[in-house]
């Protein structure tokens, strides 16, 4: 009996070893372990085994069944593995991807988002105002003389009803101060318009970012610290910033802000990036007159304001040579800013 079991085992292992498909595997399982299989038949002979040998034979029987089962399982796993390998063997992973449509944000949006996120970290909240403005909000309230060239129809777009397209986002300063009392700390990104022919460095509609901080005892030192921090966050901590005296009707003193630009292969040079200054008391007086209260009494409060061109920031940050690229919206151009 023991010898028979041994021979079943060795036969089974030889048969299983030779199997090369699932049907062969199933055939072997049935042939040895099935109801009519050789091992099943042999185990039926247990009842004829003398009592003193039953234990040994029983053990042998189990050992042979376990061995055959293990061999079948092993073979099964090997067959699956071979099939898996074969199934993926023809794949060429070096083929280009199945393309997904590529999308992305306009470079100006990237610049704007970055600038806004820095300024928000510093505690500025966003503000907005209409782009079709009154002459009062755009010029009078901003201390612009009656016959200032900017008011001219050759420089500014007007409507029949006397309103105009705002020439700067500074009008949002006035809109905000009309509604809110100090302390005010706002930024206002938005469009501004000038009656310029479009060329590489001019757009008739462009984007600005305005800032205004009004409180008690706001100083030039605050303005300097704020803008230095902002530009170093935006362009890197080693960015050199300088303030050049300048003139704007609505700030006094007024400065232009330059950054030192290090373009590869060129000598570093200062480039103009923003205008800023201490809010002119005349602006507060205009606002107070409109509000009819003392919330913006120039004797009591002070403020700083700044403004910069976002299109220009984008040109500098991405090395864009021609402003017209920003309004052309060629998707090959837009695709360069998706990373």
Partner 1 sequence: MHVSLKWLSDHVDFSEYSMAELDDLLTFAGIEVEGIQSLPDNLVVAEVLSSDKHPDADKLSICQVDDGSGKSRQIVCGAKNYKVGDKVPLALPGCLLDAGDGETFEIKEGKLRGVESLGMMCAASEIGLTDDVDGLMLLSPALEPGTPLSEVYPAVFQLEITPNRPDCLSHLGVARELAALAKKELAGVGHYGDSSTATREAKEDEIKISTESCPYYAARSIRGVKVGQSPAWLKEKLESIGLRPINNIVDITNYVMMEMGQPLHAFDMTMLNGGIHVREAAAGEEFLALDGEVYPLTEEDMVIADSAKAIAIGGVMGGEDSGVTEATTDVLLESAYFVTSKVRRTARRLNLHSDSSYRFERGVDPHQVNGASDLATRLILELAGGRADEEIVTCGEIPVVPASVSLNNDYCRSVIGADIKDDSIEAILTSLGLSKGDHGWQIPTYRLDLIRPVDLVEEVARVYGLDNVPSNHGAWFSPASKADQAFDYVSILQSRLSSQGFFEVRNLKLISDQQLRDDLATNHRGMSPIRLKNPLNDEQDYLRPGLVPGLLATASRNQRFGNADLRLFEMGRVFTATPKGGEVEHEHLAMLMMGGRRSRNWADAKPSNLDIHDLRAALEEVCPNGLNLVAVDDDRMLCACSIEIGRGKKAVKLGLAGIVLPARARELDLEAPVLVAEMNLKRLAAASTSERNYEELPKFPGSSRDVAMLVSADMAAGTVADFFANHEEPLLESVELFDVFQDPNGEKLPADKKSFAYSIYYRSENRTLEAVEVEAAHAKLLDSLKSGLDVEFR
Q: In the range 53-82, which residues lie near partner 1 by CB under 8 A?
A: none
In the complex with partner 1, which residue's Cβ is closer, 25 or 323?
323
Regarding 42 and contact with partner 1 (CB under 8 A), the answer is: no
Q: Are 185 and 177 in contact (CB under 8 A)?
A: no
Q: Under rule CB under 8 A, which residues in 108-127 are in contact with partner 1?
A: 108-109, 113, 116, 120-127
How many residues line the site for partner 1 (CB under 8 A)? 87
The answer to whether residues 226 and 234 touch, using CB atoms and an 8 Å cutoff, is no
Residue 144 CA to residue 247 CA, distance in Å, equals: 12
Is 210 one of the binding residues for partner 1 (CB under 8 A)? no
Instruction: Decide whether 81 or 268 has the Cβ nearer to partner 1.
Output: 268
Contact with partner 1 (CB under 8 A): which of 87, 91, 93, 221? 221
Residue 48 or 147: the one with the smaller Cβ distance to partner 1 is: 147
Give me the least distance between CB of 146 and partner 1, in Å please.
Answer: 7
Residues 256-285 within binding reach of partner 1 (CB under 8 A): 256, 278, 280-281
Looking at beta carbons only, is 43 or 176 nearer to partner 1?
176
Helix (H) or strand (E) holding 28: helix 22-33
336 class by beta-carbon count within 10 Å (0-12 exposed, 13-18 middle, 19+ buried): middle
Q: Which residue in 61, 141, 325, 334 binds partner 1 (CB under 8 A)? A: 334
Considering the rule CB under 8 A, would residue 321 count as an interface residue with partner 1? Answer: no
Q: Which strands sit side by side in the sheet containing 125-126, from one edge to the other? A: 125-126, 184-193, 205-215, 302-309, 269-279, 251-261, 241-248
Closest separation in Å from C-beta 109 to partner 1: 6
**Segment near partner 1 (CB under 8 A), from 30-38, 44-52, 63-71, 213-221?**
213-221
Q: With binding defined as CB under 8 A, does residue 228 bind partner 1?
A: yes
Distance CA 27, CA 33 (A): 10
CB 206 within 8 A of CB 311: yes
CB contact set of 111 (below 8 Å; sequence gap of 6+): 310, 313, 314, 317
Q: Under the phi-then-psi rule, with left for phi > 0, alpha for psi from -120 to 50, and beta for the rest, what region is 150?
A: alpha
Beta carbon nearer to partner 1, 63 or 196 = 196
Identify the residue among 205, 271, 295, 317 touching partner 1 (CB under 8 A): 205
């Amino acid at each position: 009996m023991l010898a028979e079991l041994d021979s079943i085992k060795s036969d089974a292992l030889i048969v299983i070893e030779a199997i090369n498909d699932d049907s062969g595997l199933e055939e072997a399982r049935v042939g040895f372990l099935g109801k009519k299989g050789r091992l099943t038949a042999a185990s039926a002979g247990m009842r004829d085994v003398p009592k003193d040998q039953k234990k040994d034979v029983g053990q042998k029987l189990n050992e042979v069944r376990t061995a055959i089962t293990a061999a079948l399982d092993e073979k099964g796993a090997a067959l699956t593995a071979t099939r898996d390998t074969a199934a993926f063997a023809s794949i060429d992973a070096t083929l280009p991807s199945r393309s997904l449509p590529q999308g992305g944000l306009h470079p100006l949006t990237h610049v704007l988002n970055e600038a806004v996120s820095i300024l928000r970290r510093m505690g500025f909240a966003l503000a907005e105002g209409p782009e079709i403005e009154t002459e009062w909000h755009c010029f009078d309230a901003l201390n612009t003389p009656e016959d200032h060239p900017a008011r001219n129809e050759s420089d500014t777009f007007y409507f029949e009803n006397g309103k105009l397209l705002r020439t700067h986002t500074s009008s949002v300063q006035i809109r905000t101060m009309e509604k809110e009392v100090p302390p005010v700390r706002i930024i206002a990104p938005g469009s501004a318009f000038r009656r310029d022919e479009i060329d590489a460095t001019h757009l008739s509609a462009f984007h600005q970012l305005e800032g205004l901080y009004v409180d008690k005892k706001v100083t030039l030192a605050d303005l300097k610290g704020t803008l230095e921090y902002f530009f170093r966050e935006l362009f890197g901590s080693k960015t050199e910033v300088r303030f050049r005296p300048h003139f704007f009707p609505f700030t006094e003193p007024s400065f232009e802000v330059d950054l030192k630009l290090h373009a590869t292969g060129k000598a570093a040079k200062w480039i103009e990036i923003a205008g800023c200054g201490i809010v002119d008391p005349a602006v507060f007086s205009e606002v107070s007159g409109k509000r009819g209260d003392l919330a913006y009494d120039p004797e009591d409060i002070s403020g700083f304001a700044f403004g910069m061109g976002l299109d220009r920031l984008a040109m500098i940050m991405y090395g864009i040579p021609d402003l017209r690229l920003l309004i052309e919206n060629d998707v090959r151009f837009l695709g360069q800013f998706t990373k």
